[in-house]
Copies of this chain bind each other. A is one copy, B any other.
Amino acid sequence: MDLDALQAICRRIRHDILTSTTEAGSGHPTSSLSGVELMAGLLFGGLFRFDADRPDRPDNDRLIFSKGHASPLFYALWAAAGKISRAELMTLRQFGSPLEGHPVAGTPFAEAATGSLGQGLSIGVGMALNAKFLDRLPYRTYVLLGDSEMAEGSVWEALEIGAHYGLDNLVAILDINRLGQRGETLYGHDLGVYDRKLSAFGWNTVLVDGHDQKQVLEAYAAAEAVKGRPTAIIARTVKGKGVSFIEDKNGWHGKPLPKEDLPRALAEIGAADLDMTLPLAQPPGLSAQAGAAFAVPPPDYDPKKSYATRKAYGDALARLAPGHPDMVVLDGEVSNSTYAEDMKKVAPDRFFEMYVAEQNMAGVGLGLSRRGKKPLCSTFAAFWSRAFDQIRMAQYSAGNVVYCGSHAGVSIGEDGPSQMGLEDLAMFRAISGSAVLYPGDAMSCERLVEAAVLRTGITYIRTTRAATPILYGPEETFPVGGSKVLRSSGADKVLVVAAGITLAEALAAADSLAGEGTAIRVLDAYSVKPLDEKGILAAAETVAAVVVVEDHYPEGGLGEAVAAAFAGTAKKVVRLSVEKMPKSGKPQELLDFEGISRAGIVKTVKTLL
């Protein structure tokens, strides 16, 4: 490799970092400058194989900037590869520019949205898992991390899982520039700590001076030679490298150079050929090894029996897997509770145990989806709160992921509130473009899992621990955004809107009230988002009042969504939800305690007559 050419391209990259951020008036030049040699050495050193004309080629190597705030470096790199023009660089951070402050879906060459720290390595684990075990391709995945983000627990989750799966096609590059946003990081320039920690986590480590281009190139070569475990290149770097008056200085995080200081800085960098570009090595020209698709049989349940929707989730995985070779299942060490284990039985090569590390599971799911897979990730509904930030970021990565949360609500019973998902509907509803599906029986659960697999985007499926009666036949369809009226007559006094566990309760309440001569209408709001507002408003037309009943806290769930839909009408809406501090007890005791059982519904309906 021509080191002179590399040094020349580094000058161009530094120039672009400084000028684009000064032009933008904001951004992170110093955090970008520390990684210049590391990244130029990667892209142009001959080992990164990437067809820049076809970024989505399955055999391209992948590069993730976990330290997303170093986006000026990222854009400058691709400018140096001839793929971003100088004019485009100068639109950095402007409204409408593809070069946003932090990479998002649609950012040129970005694999995923980053900017919330500590998430990139999990995404990389997902991509490397895909290469090694699914697509069986020789592409390699590189992740650039900052030292501040090494404090995030999610990074250590990714490190442990990356080592567990022996991902020798994964390289983490640690840009240890000593300084965080407001001062020194936990370990400053003590590379030994990082070395000991990562080694203990089972990674191969290589320590380098991150500004010594030769050492950097050797490190990438060494990483490629190591088999059986991933490699971390731990690089001592200098924040602001190349500009003496901001080098290694506190107070320069996230600050562009003022216009008046720019010429001095550019002079220090030295003459840069602003038209210089370098080529990338090309990928080998291999295709992914896709499985064949087989026909999917319909779900099959005895209509006279009861089944838990969590079990139906597992049944659906097993049923759908042969027909959907892109399906991959991840679970957080509770697959015998979520029934994700059913996938393991039919397609063990497409099931990955993620252990009790939900943040990394969500990131791995995103990484898989960015490589064309359809991941279905499961844990208890309550524990998805652990990965909210990763799910939040997935919406900016155009993530195509199904999250299944089992054990929703107080109806789980004796385990008590720590295990009860009572905020999960609020959480997943708040994600832009998400669908939130909450089946009331095994048959609709199977169909909704199918809909989730076919749908593009972020989909949440909420399942129930307890068995509930079969309500639908195998031919019934459940479009996302729909609803079903299950009981209806001209004499109905009240509409009860329910979903999941409360649907069975609402139907039992209807039976009980019918025995007393009172007819109520019951609607299955299985699509909590998008909510079938039109259908629900229509179903309420001839009744005096609406009762919404849900096994969730009052805010952000089905009740609030339905009540908000009735704003502007004069229809009375009564919301039943979990309002007393939940506790241990039998499922029915707890549903009664919270007033969301058949008894609570009957009582509420009577007050409305």
- A-side residues, CB < 8 A to B, are 24-27, 68, 93-97, 100-102, 104, 113-118, 148-149, 151-157, 160, 164, 180-183, 185-186, 193, 196-197, 199-202, 333-337, 341, 353, 355-357, 359-360, 382-383, 385-386, 388-389, 392-393, 396, 413-419, 422-423, 426-427, 429-432, 529, 553, 555-557, 559-561, 563-564, 566-573, 575, 578, 581, 583-586, 589-590, 593
Known contacts A152-B357, A153-B357, A556-B555; A590/B333 CB under 8 A: no
Across the interface, do A148 and B356 meet the contact criterion of CB distance under 8 Å? yes
Known contacts A386-B116, A426-B427, A427-B388; A583/B186 CB under 8 A: no
In the docked arrangement, what's the CA distance between A77 and B154, Å? Answer: 34
- List chain B residues, Cβ under 8 A from A427: 388, 423, 426-427, 430
Across the interface, do B95 and A589 meet the contact criterion of CB distance under 8 Å? yes
Interface centre among A341, A392, A431, by most B CB within 10 Å?
A392
In the docked arrangement, what's the CA distance between A529 and B426, Å? Answer: 15
- List chain B residues, Cβ under 8 A from A337: 181
Across the interface, do B563 and A567 meet the contact criterion of CB distance under 8 Å? yes
Nearest CB in chain B: distance from A181 CB, A: 6
In the docked arrangement, what's the CA distance between A583 and B105, Å? Answer: 11
Across the interface, do B341 and A418 meet the contact criterion of CB distance under 8 Å? no
Interface centre among A26, A160, A570, A584, by most B CB within 10 Å?
A584
Across the interface, do A553 and B430 meet the contact criterion of CB distance under 8 Å? yes
Nearest CB in chain B: distance from A229 CB, A: 13
Known contacts A334-B182, A382-B116; A100/B584 CB under 8 A: yes
In the docked arrangement, what's the CA distance between A589 and B96, Å? Answer: 10
9 closest A-B pairs (Cβ-Cβ)? A153-B153, A115-B418, A95-B585, A556-B556, A563-B564, A423-B430, A196-B200, A101-B416, A426-B430
In the docked arrangement, what's the CA distance between A100 and B561, Å? Answer: 32
Q: How many copies does the complex hold?
A: 2
Nearest CB in chain B: distance from A600 CB, A: 16
In the docked arrangement, what's the CA distance between A251 and B590, Å? Answer: 28
Nearest CB in chain B: distance from A216 CB, A: 25
Nearest CB in chain B: distance from A406 CB, A: 13
Across the interface, do A182 and B341 meet the contact criterion of CB distance under 8 Å? yes
Nearest CB in chain B: distance from A380 CB, A: 9
In the docked arrangement, what's the CA distance between A388 and B97, Å? Answer: 32
Nearest CB in chain B: distance from A172 CB, A: 15
Across the interface, do A389 and B385 meet the contact criterion of CB distance under 8 Å? yes
Across the interface, do B151 and A356 meet the contact criterion of CB distance under 8 Å? yes
- Write the chain B residue with the least CB distance to A564: B563
- Within the complex, which residue of B24, B154, B202, B429 is in contact with A414, where a contact is CB–CB below 8 Å? B24
Across the interface, do A102 and B553 meet the contact criterion of CB distance under 8 Å? no
In the docked arrangement, what's the CA distance between A545 and B570, Å? Answer: 14
- List chain B residues, Cβ under 8 A from A559: 564
- List chain B residues, Cβ under 8 A from A356: 117-118, 148-149, 151-152, 180
Nearest CB in chain B: distance from A31 CB, A: 13
Across the interface, do A430 and B359 meet the contact criterion of CB distance under 8 Å? no
- Within the complex, which residue of B154, B155, B182, B385 is in contact with A392, where a contact is CB–CB below 8 Å? B385
16 pairs across A/B with beta carbons < 8 Å? A25-B414, A95-B583, A95-B589, A95-B593, A100-B583, A102-B418, A113-B417, A115-B418, A153-B153, A180-B333, A181-B337, A383-B389, A426-B427, A560-B561, A563-B564, A568-B570
Across the interface, do A94 and B585 meet the contact criterion of CB distance under 8 Å? yes
Across the interface, do A336 and B182 meet the contact criterion of CB distance under 8 Å? yes
Across the interface, do A181 and B333 meet the contact criterion of CB distance under 8 Å? yes
Across the interface, do B383 and A385 meet the contact criterion of CB distance under 8 Å? no
In the docked arrangement, what's the CA distance between A292 and B283, Å? Answer: 68
In the docked arrangement, what's the CA distance between A333 and B336, Å? Answer: 39
Nearest CB in chain B: distance from A438 CB, A: 15
- Write the chain B residue with the least CB distance to A334: B181
In the docked arrangement, what's the CA distance between A130 and B533, Å? Answer: 51
Interface centre among A27, A152, A197, A575, by most B CB within 10 Å?
A152
- List chain B residues, Cβ under 8 A from A413: 26
Across the interface, do A151 and B357 meet the contact criterion of CB distance under 8 Å? yes
Across the interface, do B95 and A584 meet the contact criterion of CB distance under 8 Å? yes
- Write the chain B residue with the least CB distance to A335: B182
- Write the chain B residue with the least CB distance to A24: B414
Known contacts A386-B388, A563-B563, A567-B566; A430/B555 CB under 8 A: yes
- Within the complex, which residue of B102, B196, B556 is in contact with A416, where a contact is CB–CB below 8 Å? B102
Across the interface, do A416 and B100 meet the contact criterion of CB distance under 8 Å? yes
Across the interface, do A333 and B148 meet the contact criterion of CB distance under 8 Å? yes
- List chain B residues, Cβ under 8 A from A160: 151, 186
Interface centre among A25, A95, A185, A393, by most B CB within 10 Å?
A95
In the docked arrangement, what's the CA distance between A568 and B547, Å? Answer: 12
Nearest CB in chain B: distance from A50 CB, A: 24
